[in-house]
Amino acid sequence: MKRRKYSTKFQFFVYKSIAGVIKVLLKRIYKLEINGLENVPLEGPVIIAPNHRSSLDVLAIAVSLPRPIKALGKVERFKYPLLGRFAQYLGGIPVERGHADLSAVKGGIEVLKRGEILLIFPEGTRLRLEKKDIKPKRGIGYFAAKMKVPVVPTAIIGADCIWPPEKKLPALKGRIKVIFLQPVYYEGEPDRIKEEEFTNKIMSQIEEVLRRESLNHEAN
């Protein structure tokens, strides 16, 4: 899939303009709450690694950060006439699932080499509420080991209740909370098993926050 060339400054302007509008909407409709921004570096390459259980997840992350993000996403989403072109225009990286997509790997490495933010979902796809035991993909560990960049585990709470995978449209009520945890670094040389363990560690931290937030919600 070819990528069209655009002015970086113009892309940034379009991105920030649209993100600003979406942020206002998410705050007004879903009371978007953002915690832990101090854990995200203000400059330099970084991987944001959130749980993925809603179509709102990418938007919630994008509007929560002061810096633009580049996200890895399944190639099917880039085939939509309007949204697909727009996602690719803003730097989205299509991924062919089911096998090693070298083009997507190269794209992710290029993003990090440019000192930008790369968004990768450890689970690899949106999970339904009842499917929370899916084994995380190795991708985050691979990029962290190869590029030696910080990974920020991120918990998204509430978006799955508003717009779960089985629904075509989101509900117009609910709350979304985004929590950025302290960055984690891969230590040692690249190794497949260690990369998988690293990714599992990321998911464990996220799941711990999700459980805690769920208990707090029930208590209130």
- Tokens coding 128: 């339904």
pLDDT in tens, 16-54: 888 899 999 999 999 999 999 999 999 999 999 999 999
Q: Which domains does the chain have, with CATH numbers?
A: 8-68+105-219 (3.40.1130.10)
For residue 28, count other CB atoms closer than 10 A to its CB: 9
Q: What is the mean pLDDT of residues 61-84?
A: 78
- Higher pLDDT among residues 4 and 84, named by residue: 84
60-64, 180-184, 215-219: least confident range: 215-219
- Could you tell me the CA-to-CA distances from 61 to 1, 40, 82, 148, 162 in Å, in that order? 25, 12, 21, 22, 15
The band of 93, judged by pLDDT with boundaries at 50, 70 and 90, is confident
- Tokens coding 79: 């085939």
Bridge partners (DSSP) of residue 153 are: 49
The pTM score is: 0.87
Q: Is the pLDDT of residue 206 over 90?
A: yes
The pLDDT value given to residue 73:
76
- Could you tell me the CA-to-CA distances from 26 to 3, 20, 95, 172, 197 in Å, in that order? 29, 10, 27, 10, 34
Cα gap 153→208, rounded to integer Å: 11
Cα gap 162→26, rounded to integer Å: 11
Helix (H) or strand (E) holding 5: none
